[in-house]
């Protein structure tokens, strides 16, 4: 079967030599079946096209008969201008999807398409207006986005600078805390050394501070007494003379 198909395919040309085994025969058999199936499909397509051509020819003859009987037109003998006009008329009718080429059908189709064109134009204007509005909003949004990006950039730079300052302050504070702790240790050690050397406790900072506070309280208590005593400073130091001075003041009063 494969050999006959190869002879048919090559015709008068000798069939090329090939190794005959089960695998090559199976492959050639599969190719043969595909080729025959394709030939059958092509034959069906050709038959269908012949049928369509026959139908078109019959329809052409039908319309030519109508043109000749109804309008007295014989298409093979029409002038170029008439043929062109008739072609334009047919194309317009097909474009407008008319059932016939009457003037009323053309007017109705043209009016319908004009109305449809008006609606489409109105929709296009609305869409254009919406597009312009959206474009403005988009432009505003992009401007705002750009401004926000710049503000965020400035804020990040400010935060980085503030972070650097905070780190420096933190380092300074840590240094001062360490220094204060070191000074406290030194003061404590110095106090311990002074105490060990026999320092009087009344001369320590705490004792002197306490004494100063007690002295300030006593001075505050003495202040009214000083004011009361001031009125007696003008008296003579002798008691008899002081009595005479008091008597004179009483008589004057």
Rounded to 5°, angle at Cα 10 from 7 and 13 = 100
Whether the per-residue pLDDT at 59 is higher than 80: the answer is no
Residue 134 lies in a domain: no
Residue 111 lies in a domain: no
Structurally, how many domains does the chain consist of? Answer: 1
pLDDT single digits (tens) 123-136: 999 999 999 888 88
**Alpha-carbon distance 161 to 168, whole Å?**
11
The more confidently predicted of residues 60 and 183 is 183
Residue 110 lies in a domain: no
Q: How far from the centroid of its chain's Cα atoms is residue 245's Cα?
A: 103
User: Rounded to whole angstroms, what are the CA distances from 54 to 42, 47, 69?
Assistant: 18, 11, 22
Residue 193 lies in a domain: no
pLDDT value for 108: 82
The model scores a pTM over 0.75: no
Residue 18 lies in a domain: yes
Residue 20 lies in a domain: yes
Residue 8's domain comprises 1-77
Residue 175 lies in a domain: no
pLDDT single digits (tens) 155-172: 999 898 889 889 998 898
Are 74 and 68 in contact, with CB atoms under 8 Å apart? Answer: yes
């Amino acid at each position: 079967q494969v050999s006959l198909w190869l002879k048919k395919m090559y015709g008068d040309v000798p069939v090329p030599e090939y190794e005959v085994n089960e695998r090559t025969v199976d492959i050639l058999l599969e190719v043969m079946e595909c080729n025959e199936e394709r030939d059958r499909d092509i034959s069906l397509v050709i038959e269908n096209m012949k049928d369509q051509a026959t139908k078109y020819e019959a329809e052409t003859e039908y319309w030519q008969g109508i043109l000749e009987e109804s309008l007295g037109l014989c298409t093979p003998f029409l002038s170029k201008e008439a043929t062109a006009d008739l072609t334009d008329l047919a194309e317009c009718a097909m474009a407008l999807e008319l059932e016939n080429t009457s003037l009323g059908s053309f007017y109705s189709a043209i009016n319908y398409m004009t109305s449809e064109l008006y609606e489409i134009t109105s929709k296009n204007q609305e869409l254009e207006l919406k597009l312009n509005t959206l474009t403005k909003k988009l432009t505003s949004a992009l401007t705002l986005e750009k401004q926000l990006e710049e503000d965020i950039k400035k804020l990040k730079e400010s935060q980085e600078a503030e972070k650097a300052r905070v780190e420096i302050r933190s380092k300074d504070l840590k240094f001062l805390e360490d220094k204060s702790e070191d000074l406290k240790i030194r003061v404590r050690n110095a106090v311990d050394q002074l105490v060990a050397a026999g320092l009087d406790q009344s001369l320590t900072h705490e004792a002197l501070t306490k004494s100063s506070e007690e002295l300030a309280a006593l001075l505050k208590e003495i202040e009214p007494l000083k004011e009361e005593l001031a009125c007696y400073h003008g008296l003579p130091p002798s008691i008899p003379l002081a009595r005479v001075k008091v008597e004179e003041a009483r008589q004057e009063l």
